[in-house]
Amino acid sequence: MLIVHRCQTCGHPDYWASRLGPTIDNRKHCEGGCGCRRCTWGPPETAPRWSSADNTPVTTPAEPGTLGTCACDDCRALYAELVGMATAQLGAPT
């Protein structure tokens, strides 16, 4: 999975925006063909991602700042929460 911000106008994820730096503050307009010239980004959320090898869902979140994703503090906090939940589930009795 990916951690993304969505444009509150068009709904496209931030990795479709022009990038001037590694965080959401540096992503200005959408390049998704919608015409948004100044995106208003929502809070980070998860989005699906698939393996290019066999087209299966990837359930492990990509680390913020990789794969063209944002590396802001909010994205890093969500990543830590998701990784912590996955670790807790691995250690839970079955």
Model confidence over 6-26: pLDDT tens digits? 988 888 888 777 766 666 777
Domain residues of the chain, as ranges?
Answer: 2-91
- The pLDDT tens digits of the residues spanning 30-46 come to 777 787 777 888 999 99
> If you count them, how many residues does the chain have?
94
- The DSSP H or E segment spanning 3 is strand 2-4
8 A C-beta contact, residue 9 and residue 40: yes
Copy the structure tokens of residue 43: 């809070």
Question: Residue 2: how many CB atoms within 10 A of its CB?
Answer: 22
